[in-house]
A and B are shown apart, each in its own frame.
Chain A
Amino acid sequence: MSDSHSSSETVATLKLLLIGSSGTGKSSLLMRFVDGVFLAPDEISATIGVDFKVKVIDVEGKKYKLTIWDTAGQERFRTLTSSYYRGAQGVILVYDVSNRDSFNDLQTWFNELDTYCSSKEVVRMIVGNKVDKESSREVSRQEGQEFARKLQTLFVECSAKTKLGVQQAFDELVQQIIDTPSLWQKQAPANVRLQPNTETQEYSGCAC
């Protein structure tokens, strides 16, 4: 699940997840954040199943490795993508401010999240993407905020195109995760086994 080669320098590996209806710009958002570029929608093909990108970020002098999983928004991919909710520490629910349907779908995604996420504490963030398309905006900022308040999530509007708010969104999400140590600190990598130091330890009365 987590890699061993970079663990020497990174404090933890955090798993983030991008979900939302198709065409809301999840992949663009991810590409903007990780690679710092924006590709026009026609240059990124619709995601099939899941994909992921890795980015190492610096928070308070400590390095965190983010594996950010990008998912396909199409209905038919749900069963495939929902498997990857497991073990995520942060989830970004993306909608398109210029597409009301994508906003209306949020509740469905949210339910999905509740069903498949392994931890109740997982940090959730609602992101309204494509604010650069102000002219064709269909969902007001206020609506987004209210919805986020109702579901008790973080909220931010951003634009993968102009990169407005993208960095902040991820930073805030990561900060929240870091502030919830129970989310990630106990998440011992599967390959780490406790060293058997049985010789020295008093084996007192439990299982003997």
Chain B
Amino acid sequence: MDDFENFEFIDYTTSGPWERFITQIEDSLRSWGLVDNSLGVFDPTTIAASEDGSSDDLSTPNPAGVSSSSDGATAQTHSPKSPKSKVYQLREMLSLDDATYALSYQYHPAKIRLAEGVERIDLDFLPISLEGVVHHSLHRWTAQTHILIISPVTISDIFATSLSSSSSSASSAIIDLSSAKLLLSSFAIAFQNTGCNIPIFVPTGQPWNMTFTGLMIQSMPSSSPALSSNQHDLLDDEHGDDDQAIEVRFNTVHVPYPPVQYTHLSGIMDYFIERMGIEDDDPASSLGNHSQSIKEQIHASALFSYDLVNWRDEDWKRWGNPLEVESRRASSSRDRDGDVTTFQVDEEPTMNTPSDSVNIEDMKTENRALSILPIPILPFGPVQDPLKSLRLLARFASAPCTVYLDSKNFADMDASYANIWILHATFKEGDYGILSGIMEDAIASWSSESVGQGHADGKVQKDQTYSGALLNKGAKLIQGTITMVDTMDVENIVDALFEMPVIEPPVKSAASNKIETECGVRIIPASELGLQFKYATTVPYNSFLWRMIQYLIDVISPNSDISYATSVMGFLKVLWSELLKQFYARWENSLLIPMVDIYGGNAYESEAELGGERKPVAIDLRYNLLHQKLSMLNCCIARQIVRNKEAPRDVHPVLKRRKEKVIIEDKSGLNPSSLPGSGTTSPTSEQTYGAQFQNLLHGLSDISRPRSADVVPMAKRLLKNVKNRAVSSPQESTSPSPSASSILFTGSKTEPSSPTASMPIPQVEAPRRRYSSRRSSQHLFHPTETTTGSDDDDEDVFYDPMETSEVILDPVEMQRRAHSQSLTESFVALKYSSSADSQSGILVNDLDQMTVSASGPDPREVADAHKSEGGLMPLKDLKLLETGAPLMIPKLQEPGFMTEDMIQQQEELFETLGSSSDGAKMRAKMQSTQLISDMEAFKAANPGCVLGDFIRWHSPKDWVEDKRQMSARMADAGNYWQELWANSKRIPAGRQTPLFNYNQEAAKVLYYLDSLSGDQLFLNLLPSMFLLAYDTLASHPVASHIRQVAIGLKELAKELTVFPWNELTAGEEDLHLDVVIDKFRDVELLMGRAIALVRKFPEQYRLVERILEDLETVVEDGDERECVYDLFSIGGSLQSSFPQPTSREFVLETFDPSDMSDFTSVSSSSSAIAPGPIIRGWHSRPLQRRMYACFKESEVRIVEAVAKDGMYM
């Protein structure tokens, strides 16, 4: 009710378009918070606060502050820490009459960053590009961080609209002068209404000229001086107490082909003074004087830019002393193709040795270049110089104009006089990384095969894109269809691998590979990193497989010498089949495989030297299974060598034959009760199961069922049988045995799941076959001929492991083969010596021997009850308890070796036995082989000994010296040791059944290697491929000099170590390897940049680091400056002098003299060196004048800002 009284009509119906336009402007301004001198949404304080949570003290950078900051004292190399996308521009659409305008509020982050101390910011010349965004040029021209721009918009603009900065300049519509004035007036009104103090710019003239006229109204309420001083740092620091506005007008002059007098500082100085409107009463006499005194009031600062672009440097990758490299090049055979040179890995004389291994490789490359294939050096980095251009900014600090002399006749503003040099580098974007490309190619060739035929179509297209990268050599790569392999290439590699002089012991990397970098970031050498991979998935540094991978990757490297471009997979298959033949041959001829260390390097030297002869230590489980298998093969070969040396023939023929029989019977699934001598006593059948376990336990499974996966389920079933037996009657106990044996064979029927079923690559067939036969004859070794009862299938099995899709998998065939092996010779033509024949009796081992003991004397036993055999030396001065003879330490059997999969099998087997006491007993039995062997050897060496004697030697803690008796646990009658002791016979180690059947193990390894599909092979090698690629990067000397590179490598190393390599399974498409590869590419390209920069600025590593960090850096005085100077001198022009600047920018600043007399008096006192509000006249406050001028080759741009006191308007 009361409301009605206050009710009031306001009539807006009469408001015109102009008024509505102003309202729109005001709305926009308010929506951005641009009221009452606020900076609104782009208020640095709020932005800064939201950025890193700390609202920094944004103290005013007063003119003094500006100049000090531009002195470059605060040059920082911190990384910009907020890469998140930030908004620098807001837009609103306005309309006036029919015309549409876009009003944008643009923000330049210079001051925030300055306040945060993030980096050096030149507030006089605001960087065009900051925080990764190109800002509007007006920021630089006017030194305003916050600006408003209104520009006309046409329909086409709306459609093509982009929020990119400086879009207003792109608008096609032109605002004529009167419209511009109208617009500015509108804003003047709007500014008055809102209290907005942000300058508005209106484009005038042709858009490409980028000419603007502008207006800023600074109303300064005295209520918040601190805030206002924040905002008006440049134009006005001091102001009167009145809140009368100051009006600043901006004008742009752009002259395409300027008259000569305006192309220098002196010219625009005159213009500047002229614009100040100082009337000179007596032009003739006093102009010079006035000018001089006025000039002292004008402060000038300048920025000269020098550009260096498009130079061609063929050897941009070259590292170090050019002369040295030149000589190397001459001797090296690998640098034939000129376009892509490898990174040279030699180091400068002045530098620390980056890595010994690199040197060794170099040496070898040099020395053996003629005889065998050199070790390839993989290329990396971008293909071409990643550096696009370099720009040098020479900054002349603010000083009275008289200091600088720059006129058309004479100029002393040479870059070398500039206070600060800033170097800015531009790199090519989205470069291609050679090494990461190689890795991608390798993986592509694998995944395209593993996917199989079904997806082949989809894959091919993808392959093409990748193979495109390989076309440097002009060869076409068609993956998955044809693999062309030159047999010579394969042969060369095989020769190189096997004939490489064995480095023994392998390079101990402890000292040499510790690459301590200058920057304190430690680069993990590849040899160490390999062990840090999350699973044992790598091969040792510089080992056989390592070298193989090196050659393999080199095959697809752009500067490879390989005849035909091929895929990794294609080549790998061919190479591997060749290597397999070599493995067989090595085993046949008792030659160790080179570079597969089984002696544990130096660490075990003392232990290994025990018998005067080096003994293989355990297989190193820290490396991948493939390497373990090769180690195993080498262990077998080593045993064979030892055995051949000893060559004892003291094996009783009777035994030999009997053993054979045992195996046959066992295998053929006959009732175990028919085992020789088993009929009489003891739970034989159970023991036979034990024997089967034994067989599993030591991984001595017959070659007919080499797949480990079959073992566990089988073991479970067997265990069940054993358990049943325990409760069942003795009669029944014999019957389940055939079924158990049949289980054994069903186990082998799971074979078809074997990964050997790989895809055939028929095209390779012909050349490979031909080649391989030639090769085998070379080595006087033709397995097919020696294979008994072999057929074509066998040949396939042997020759083409990758193609054995169906042949090998027939269980019947397997069985048959197994028989033929044990009956006659091995199917792989392994050279079984007569003694080795008897060793295959390991299958029934000790438990069987117990049975034998019950039936009669063992022919191997020491016949003479008092003869000591196989004793090595007395143990201290101990005497046997009963006879008093010295206690002899017997010669013992060497324990066997186990690879990871064998251990795992065994472990699984143990676990399936459960934790019951029965299970425990079974486990003890299974593991007692060695103990029995020890006991038997001990008995043989010590006639008349008792268990107590054995215990004193074997487990001294179980001997209580005081009471001269065994510990309670050993003395217990039910003790298993007692049982074993009672049953063990006097057999010296030499005549015992070997604990480790190297023949069978070797056969198993060879079978394993043979049955690996290309897929599995690749998976086994893939982690090492990455490690190798890492090594390529990490061993480059640049890594030890440039911090970013070191950090990048560290991150890469981390990436590699956490990658779940074990989860890579065949046929799995989504590997997420792209993460690793992307990281690789990043580091590789970064290194490319670093190397290119170091090449330009030799040894200026800190400078390079700073450029890499921010793309822009202050060049420090001294060496750095000299270095930069040299580069620009050479690169700039032919006469090797410093080039002409591509642009010269000046800023002139002064305060309007209000009163001439006052002005001159002040100036004559010459106290006004610093720009400041010293000039006081009847003007209540000084008004700033600023002029920005930019001279380029064919244009001059002048942007002036003139402040006028609103008081007098």
- Closest CB-CB distance, B1158 to chain A, in whole Å? 72
- Closest CB-CB distance, B191 to chain A, in whole Å? 51
Q: Is the CB of B911 within 8 A of A206?
A: no
- A41→B892 CA distance, assembly (Å): 29
Contact with B along A15-37 (1 / 0, CB 8 A): 00000011100000000001000
Closest residue of chain A to B1074, judged by CB? A206
Q: Which of A80-88, A152-160, A167-175 contacts B (4 or more CB under 8 A)?
A: A80-88
Contact with A along B1156-1200 (1 / 0, CB 8 A): 000000000000000000000000000000000000000000000
Q: Is the CB of A46 within 8 A of B907?
A: no
- A21→B444 CA distance, assembly (Å): 52
Residues of B within 8 A of A106 (CB): none
Given A45-B969, A206-B443: A197 and B618 interface contact (C-beta under 8 Å): no
Q: Which of B278-286, B416-424, B898-906, B1097-1105 contacts A (4 or more CB under 8 A)?
A: B898-906
Quick check: is B908 within 8 A (CB to CB) of the other chain?
yes
- Closest CB-CB distance, B450 to chain A, in whole Å? 10
Q: Is the CB of B976 within 8 A of A48?
A: yes
Closest residue of chain B to A206, judged by CB? B1074
Quick check: is A165 within 8 A (CB to CB) of the other chain?
no
Residues of A within 8 A of B863 (CB): none
Closest residue of chain A to B897, judged by CB? A79
Quick check: is B534 within 8 A (CB to CB) of the other chain?
yes
A54, A186, A188, A208: the one contacting B444 at CB < 8 Å is: A208
Q: Is the CB of A44 within 8 A of B895?
A: no
- Closest CB-CB distance, B930 to chain A, in whole Å? 6
Q: Which of B194-202, B214-222, B397-405, B1064-1072 contacts A (4 or more CB under 8 A)?
A: B1064-1072
Q: Which residues A51-72 have CB closer than 8 A to chain B?
A: 51-54, 67
- A117→B432 CA distance, assembly (Å): 41
Residues of B within 8 A of A201 (CB): 1069-1070
Q: Which residues B190-249 have CB closer than 8 A to chain A?
A: none
- A43→B440 CA distance, assembly (Å): 62
Residues of B within 8 A of A77 (CB): 930
Given A42-B968, A82-B618, A198-B1069: A76 and B934 interface contact (C-beta under 8 Å): yes
Quick check: is A204 within 8 A (CB to CB) of the other chain?
yes
Q: Is the CB of B977 within 8 A of A84?
A: no
Q: Is the CB of B976 within 8 A of A208?
A: no
Q: Is the CB of B1071 within 8 A of A207?
A: yes
Residues of B within 8 A of A44 (CB): 969
Quick check: is B853 within 8 A (CB to CB) of the other chain?
no
Contact with A along B905-930 (1 / 0, CB 8 A): 01110110001000010011011101
Q: Is the CB of A79 within 8 A of B618?
A: yes
Contact with A along B1069-1100 (1 / 0, CB 8 A): 11111110100000000000000000000000
Quick check: is B1121 within 8 A (CB to CB) of the other chain?
no
Quick check: is A3 within 8 A (CB to CB) of the other chain?
yes
Residues of A within 8 A of B51 (CB): none
Q: Is the CB of A43 within 8 A of B1070?
A: no
Quick check: is B665 within 8 A (CB to CB) of the other chain?
no
B904, B910, B924, B976: the one contacting A190 at CB < 8 Å is: B904
Q: Is the CB of B440 within 8 A of A207?
A: yes
Given A51-B924, A207-B1074: A43 and B969 interface contact (C-beta under 8 Å): yes
Q: Which of B374-382, B686-694, B954-962 contacts A (4 or more CB under 8 A)?
A: B954-962
- Closest CB-CB distance, B1057 to chain A, in whole Å? 11
Closest residue of chain A to B925, judged by CB? A48
- A45→B978 CA distance, assembly (Å): 10
Quick check: is B306 within 8 A (CB to CB) of the other chain?
no
Quick check: is B560 within 8 A (CB to CB) of the other chain?
no
Given A194-B1068, A196-B1069: A118 and B621 interface contact (C-beta under 8 Å): yes
Residues of A within 8 A of B32 (CB): none
Q: Which residues A87-103 have CB closer than 8 A to chain B?
A: 99, 101-102
Given A49-B924, A49-B927, A80-B927: A23 and B968 interface contact (C-beta under 8 Å): no
Contact with A along B925-941 (1 / 0, CB 8 A): 01110110010000000
- A206→B954 CA distance, assembly (Å): 57
- Closest CB-CB distance, A97 to chain B, in whole Å? 15
Quick check: is B813 within 8 A (CB to CB) of the other chain?
no
Q: Is the CB of A204 within 8 A of B1074?
A: yes
Quick check: is A128 within 8 A (CB to CB) of the other chain?
no
Of B908, B915, B1072, the most chain A CB neighbours within 10 A belong to: B915
- Closest CB-CB distance, A5 to chain B, in whole Å? 11
Closest residue of chain A to B920, judged by CB? A51
Residues of B within 8 A of A40 (CB): 968
Given A76-B954, A116-B621: A207 and B443 interface contact (C-beta under 8 Å): yes
- A73→B954 CA distance, assembly (Å): 11
Quick check: is A74 within 8 A (CB to CB) of the other chain?
yes
- A131→B555 CA distance, assembly (Å): 65
Q: Is the CB of A42 within 8 A of B969?
A: yes
Q: Is the CB of B466 within 8 A of A208?
A: yes
Quick check: is B1154 within 8 A (CB to CB) of the other chain?
no
B895, B934, B957: the one contacting A79 at CB < 8 Å is: B895
Quick check: is B971 within 8 A (CB to CB) of the other chain?
yes
Of B447, B1069, B1075, the most chain A CB neighbours within 10 A belong to: B1069
Closest residue of chain B to A200, judged by CB? B1070
Closest residue of chain B to A53, judged by CB? B915
Q: Is the CB of A84 within 8 A of B903?
A: yes
Interface size class of B (residues with CB under 8 A): 35 or more
- A193→B1062 CA distance, assembly (Å): 10
Residues of A within 8 A of B462 (CB): 208
- A61→B635 CA distance, assembly (Å): 48
Residues of A within 8 A of B972 (CB): 42-43, 45
Q: Is the CB of B900 within 8 A of A86?
A: yes
Of A3, A40, A74, the most chain B CB neighbours within 10 A belong to: A74
Residues of A within 8 A of B911 (CB): 3, 52, 67
Residues of B within 8 A of A204 (CB): 1074
B957, B970, B1073: the one contacting A206 at CB < 8 Å is: B1073
- A50→B915 CA distance, assembly (Å): 12
- A203→B459 CA distance, assembly (Å): 11
- A9→B898 CA distance, assembly (Å): 33
Closest residue of chain B to A115, judged by CB? B603
Residues of A within 8 A of B910 (CB): 50, 52
Given A1-B904, A1-B907, A206-B440: A197 and B1070 interface contact (C-beta under 8 Å): yes
Of A40, A45, A194, the most chain B CB neighbours within 10 A belong to: A45
Q: Is the CB of B621 within 8 A of A86?
A: yes
- A117→B1160 CA distance, assembly (Å): 88
Quick check: is A205 within 8 A (CB to CB) of the other chain?
yes
Of B440, B447, B955, the most chain A CB neighbours within 10 A belong to: B955
Q: Is the CB of A45 within 8 A of B1070?
A: no
Q: Is the CB of B915 within 8 A of A52?
A: yes
Residues of A within 8 A of B924 (CB): 45, 47-49, 51
Quick check: is B544 within 8 A (CB to CB) of the other chain?
no
- Closest CB-CB distance, B753 to chain A, in whole Å? 13
Closest residue of chain A to B1068, judged by CB? A196
- A188→B1063 CA distance, assembly (Å): 9
Residues of A within 8 A of B536 (CB): 118
Residues of B within 8 A of A52 (CB): 910-911, 915
Residues of A within 8 A of B927 (CB): 48-50, 80
4 smallest beta-carbon distances between A and B, as pairs: A206-B1074, A49-B927, A42-B968, A208-B462
Taking A45-B924, A102-B957, A204-B1074 as given, write out 11 further A-B residue pairs in contact, using a Cβ cutoff of 8 Å, ordered by the A residue number. A23-B967, A42-B969, A45-B972, A45-B974, A80-B930, A83-B618, A86-B900, A193-B1065, A201-B1069, A207-B446, A208-B448
B residues with CB within 8 A of A:
440, 443-444, 446-448, 459, 462-463, 466, 534, 536, 618, 621-622, 892, 895, 898, 900, 903-904, 906-908, 910-911, 915, 920, 923-924, 926-928, 930-931, 934, 954-955, 957-958, 967-972, 974-977, 1060, 1062-1063, 1065, 1067-1075, 1077
A sample of 22 cross-chain residue pairs with beta-carbon separation below 8 angstroms, ordered by A number, consists of A1-B907, A22-B958, A23-B958, A23-B967, A45-B970, A46-B969, A47-B924, A49-B930, A52-B910, A80-B895, A80-B927, A86-B621, A99-B957, A101-B957, A118-B621, A118-B622, A188-B1062, A193-B1068, A194-B1063, A207-B444, A207-B446, A208-B462
